[in-house]
Structure 1
Amino acid sequence: MRFLPALVALAFAVPSAAQPLPNYDMEELRGAIAQKDLGKIAVLAAEQGGEQILLERFDGKDAGTPIDIRSAGKSITALAVGAAIADGALVDTQVTIWPYLGRPRGEPWDSITVGDLLGMSSALDCNDWDRKSPGQEERMYRTRVWRDFALDLPAREYERDAQGEGPFSYCTAGVFLLGQVVEKATGQRFDNYVQQRIFDPLGIEGVIWRTSRSGEIQSGGQLTIGAEALLKIGRLVLDKGRWDGEQLIPESWIRLMVAPRHQLGQHVHYGSLWWTTPLRSLRGYEGAVMMKGNGGNIVALVPTYDAVFVVQAENYNRKDAERHAFTALTAMLGALEAPEGITAE
Structure 2
Amino acid sequence: MKNLGITIGVVFILVFLISETGCNIAARAEHYYKVPEQLNDGLKVGDAAKAGLNTALLEDATQAIENGKFKEIHSMLIYKAGQLVFEEYFEGHQYQWDAAKYHGALVQWSPTMTHPVMSCTKSITSACIGIAIDKGFIKSVDQSIFDYLPEHQYLKTDNKNYITIEHLLTMTSGLAWDEWNASHGGQLTNDYDHLYVVDDQIKAVLERPFWAAPGEFFTYNGGGIDILGEIMKNATGMDMDEFAAEYLFKPLGIDSATWWRYPNGRLETASSLSLTPRDMLKFGALYLNKGRRNGQQIIPEDWVEKSATVYRNNSGIQLPIEDSGVNGYAYTWWISELDHNGQKIKMYRANGWGGQVIAVIPELDMVMVFTSGNWATKSKLFKLVNNYILPAVNN
Question: Would the TM-score normalized by the shorter structure come out above 0.5?
Answer: yes
Q: Which amino acid aligns with 1:191?
A: D
Change (3 A) 1:34 1:134: closer
Query: Does the Cα contact within 8 Å between 2:292 and 2:299 map onto a contact in 1?
Result: yes
C-alpha spacing 1:33/1:157, structure 2 compared with 1 (3 Å): closer
Measure the CA separation in 2 of the matches of 1:79 and 1:144.
28
**Aligned: 1:246 with 2:310:** no
Question: Residues 227-255 of structure 1: CA distance to partner in whole angstroms, max 9, x if unpaired?
Answer: 11111111111111111101111111211
Shift of 1:224: 1.1
Matched residue, 2:316: 264
**Larger deviation, residues 200-209 vs 212-221:** 212-221
Q: How many angstroms apart in 2 are the aligned matches of 1:211 and 1:282?
A: 46
| TM-score with structure 2 setting the length | 0.73
Taking the aligned partners of 1:95 and 1:185, their CA distance within structure 2 comes to: 12
Among candidates 44, 65, 74, match of residue 42 of structure 1? 74
CA RMSD of aligned residues (A): 2.1
Cα distance, 1:310–1:143 mapped onto 2, change above 3 Å: same
Contact 2:132 2:138 in 1 (8 A): yes
Q: Distance in 2 between matches of 1:239 and 1:112?
A: 31
Confirm whether residue 159 of structure 1 aligns to residue 207 of structure 2: no
Could you tell me how far apart the structure 2 residues matched to 1:68 and 1:329 are? 21
Corresponding position: 1:313 with 2:372: yes
**2:221 aligned residue:** 171
1:52 corresponds to which of 47, 64, 84: 84
CA displacement, residues 119-164 of structure 1 (integer Å, 9 cap, x when unaligned): 100032223113499981011123354334334x31213225xxxx
Q: Which residue number corresponds to residue 136 of structure 2?
A: 88
Give the gaps of 5 or more residues in structure 2. Answer: 1-55, 92-107, 318-324
Alignment map for 1:111-130 (pairs within 5 Å):
111-130=162-181
Structure of higher CA gyration radius: 2
Is contact 1:297–1:313 with CA below 8 Å preserved after alignment? yes
Pairing 1:180–2:230 present: yes
Q: Is the 8 A contact 2:174 2:219 kept in 1?
A: no
SS of match in other structure, 1:208? coil
Distance 2:190 2:326 in 1: 27
Question: What is the aligned partner in structure 2 of residue 328 from structure 1?
Answer: 384
Deviation string, structure 1 residues 245-293 (Cα, Å, up to 9, x no partner):
0111111121122210110347410011011102343444421111111
Amino acid aligned to 1:337: N
2:340 & 2:197 partners in 1: Cα distance? 43
Q: Structure 1 residues 272 and 204 mapped into 2: Cα distance closer, same or farther (>3 Å)?
A: same
**Hey, what's the Cα distance between the residues in 2 that align with 1:239 and 1:71?**
22
Task: Name which of 146, 150, 157 aligns with 1:106.
Answer: 157
Deviates more, 1:208-217 or 1:299-308: 208-217
Unpaired segments ≥5 residues, structure 1: 1-23, 339-345
- TM score, norm. by length of structure 1: 0.83
Choose between structure 1 and 2 for higher RCO, CA contacts under 8 A separated by at least 6 residues.
1
SS at match of 2:316: strand
Comparing 258-267 with 201-210, greater Cα deviation is found at: 258-267
Structure 1 distance, partners of 2:364, 2:268, is: 33
For the pair 1:291 / 2:345, whether they are aligned, the reply is: no
Superposed, which structure 2 residues align to 1:270-281 within 5 Å? 270-281=329-340
